[in-house]
Amino acid sequence: MKIGITCYPTYGGSGAMATELGIALSRRGHEIHFITYRQPFRLPAFLPRVFFHEVDVGRYPLFEYPPYDLALAVRMHEVVLAHQLDLLHCHYAIPHATSAWIAKEMLAQQQSDIKVLTTLHGTDITIVGQDPSFHPITKFSIEKSDGLTAVSRFLQQETVSAFGCTGCRIEVIPNFVDPTVYDRARYPGSRGAFGDGRPVLMHISNFRPVKRVVDIVRTFALVTAERPSLLVMVGDGPDRILAEQEARRLNVQDQVMFLGKIESVAPLLASADLYLLPTDRESFGLSALEALASGTPVIGANVGGLPEVVQDGVTGALCAVGDVDGMAAAALDILRDRERWNAMSRAAAADARRRYALNDVVAHYERFYTEALG
């Protein structure tokens, strides 16, 4: 197949997963064309059967805000015609699915029957899509897609509840993990990167408010007060400064490392003892899955799709949103009992491989594509 993929190319779960999917499909013989405004951050400089088409947004003085959605539609139209694509796979409902529908309408004039498939990742439904300014166009774009997938049962149900989606079938195809990359045994020396043998707690995100990074620092402060530890914060975003301020306020700044954006996180996760994800809204939790595959138990919030990924009491612990004391207590319970930690680590890695292995999920997408194409 010849497949066009459009995603947000910046640091974040939906873009990472879309890029990894495209790379995996190319290895299975498909031709992949990424269509977006920047080269995806997880896409190497060159791979066989993988192509990147940049969307150029004109800077005409009349436009206070350049119309990216229209420029994207035009670029999709051009790439489909030039490379005879079979389908456009949009990750995130708006504006990507909207632009794809416009491109499809344009392509009808050239007798092209391009299929538009849309994968719903989370905030496109739970936050952005339900904003009154975007609800009607999100609903329209979903219903005009030729095929829909959601990354969790929670998101599938949330979409139906929020948008109705008359006649829509939403296939649940979860995110995936490459077990050859996220494997603790592959990085035996990674633990030494953080020095003195203290437990390492970790968080990776784009530091948006939804991630509640201040709660992470507060949880860590309670943990390290009883058991001296190290907190490693990976990523960047609007709430990083708040997390840094909270670390100083709680006088744990010397035990917290802010590493900024790092592309390859597998060696870091292999060095962690616990992964913290106290988010107040999580439709799946890709970073949690990558941690579990690395044998790192997850302390998270019992919200959204996260309970589908983390088995409470088996591969980690789930608490109420904002329950800093509960998360700290759960973390300490695991850290105090090395035998329990070992059992959780083994269970986490095994469960991630059993339910979310790359090859199984990519094969599911292939079946979905074939069905959509008839």
**Domains of the chain (ranges, CATH numbers):** 2-176+357-373 (3.40.50.2000), 184-356 (3.40.50.2000)
Task: Quote the strand ranges of the chain, DSSP E.
Answer: 2-6, 31-36, 50-54, 87-91, 115-120, 147-150, 170-172, 200-205, 230-235, 256-260, 274-277, 298-301, 316-319
Rounded to a whole number, what is the distance in angstroms from the first to the last CA of the chain?
13
pLDDT value of residue 275? 98
pLDDT value of residue 86? 95
Q: DSSP characters for 252-290?
A: -GGGEEEEE--S--HHHHHT-SEEEE--S--SS-HHHHH
Distances (CA, A) of 347 to 2, 331, 338: 38, 17, 14
- DSSP H or E run through 352: helix 338-356
Closest CA to 285 of 271, 275, 295: 275
In this prediction the pTM is 0.89
Q: Is 35 helix (H, G, I), strand (E, B) or coil?
A: strand
pLDDT value of residue 281? 87
pLDDT tens by residue, 149-207: 999 999 999 898 888 876 678 999 999 999 999 999 999 877 767 767 899 999 999 89
Kindly give the confidence (pLDDT) of every residue in the chain, 374 residues in length, as a single tens digit, with 9 standing for 90 and above: 999 999 988 766 788 899 999 999 999 999 999 999 988 877 887 899 999 999 988 776 666 667 889 999 999 999 999 999 999 999 988 899 999 999 999 998 877 789 999 999 877 676 665 667 788 888 899 999 999 999 999 999 989 888 887 667 899 999 999 999 999 999 987 776 776 789 999 999 989 999 999 999 999 999 999 999 999 999 999 999 999 999 999 999 999 999 998 888 999 999 999 999 999 988 999 999 999 999 999 999 999 999 999 999 999 999 999 999 999 999 999 999 999 999 999 999 999 999 999 999 999 999 999 999 98
Token readout for 114 is 């391009």
